[in-house]
Amino acid sequence: MTVDLAAIRGRAWLFGSDISTDMLSPGQYVHHPMEERLKHVLESARPEFAGEVKPGDIVVAGPNFGCGSSRESAPQHLKDLGVAAVVADSLARIFSRNAIAIGLVAIACPTISEVVEDGDVVEVDVISGRVNIPARSVSLEADRIPEPMLDVLRHGGIEPLLISIAAEQRDE
């Protein structure tokens, strides 16, 4: 399975700054079943998010998205809800790495939160590093993701990439 990183398109959910991993994956639900945990994703910022987000939607946020602990469940919960990408003014490094490791696009695009409105269609081309908001005739430059990390994303995460590599080696 490969992911088309040049054509991610979805409806924006706009969030502010300093969205922490605890907001993404509240600690008080860590021992609950996954279905229950997912109901609480970002509820302290937008209580309706988990119940209304649709597969392919894009989370757009201000600076410092994913700050806090190295909670690996934070990007996983977004992916489990069907979020196609996170585009923020800036990303906490550990969140970004965890997201890419599981195959969730997370890209920094300075000033994105200043031009996107909730519900706008956002187009992300991870390969070229461009983010477009067609309704506003805006095209922004995003931070480029290094090629080895793009390869992880193309395969849907580290685990599928390693499985693919192992299969290729078996076939040699």
Mean pLDDT, 10 residues at a time, the chain of 172 residues: 82 97 88 87 96 97 94 93 97 96 97 97 96 96 95 94 90 78
| pLDDT number for residue 163 | 94
pLDDT at residue number 110:
97
Residue 38, both tokens: 């997912």
DSSP string, 88-140: ESSB-HHHHHHHHHHT-EEEE-TTHHHH--TT-EEEEETTTTEEEEGGGTEEE
CA angle 25, 26, 31 (to 5 degrees): 95
pLDDT for 23 equals 94
Domains in the chain, start-ordered, CATH in brackets?
8-171 (3.20.19.10)
| Phi and psi at residue 85, to the nearest 5° | -165, 155
Give the pLDDT score at 128: 95
Residue 50: Cβ-neighbour burial (10 angstroms; 0-12, 13-18, 19+): middle
Q: Is 129 exposed, middle or buried (0-12, 13-18, 19+ CB in 10 A)?
A: middle
Tokens of 41: 């994703």
| Rounded Cα–Cα distance for residues 88 and 62 (Å) | 5
Residue 140 DSSP class: E
For residue 157, the number of C-alpha atoms closer than 13 Å in the C-beta half-sphere is: 11
pLDDT value at position 36?
A: 87
Residue 11 · residue 119 · CB < 8 Å = yes
Phi, psi dihedrals of residue 77, rounded to the nearest 5°: -65, -40
Query: Would you say the pTM of this structure is higher than 0.85?
Result: yes
Give me the pLDDT at residue 1, please: 52
In this structure, what DSSP letter does residue 87 have?
E
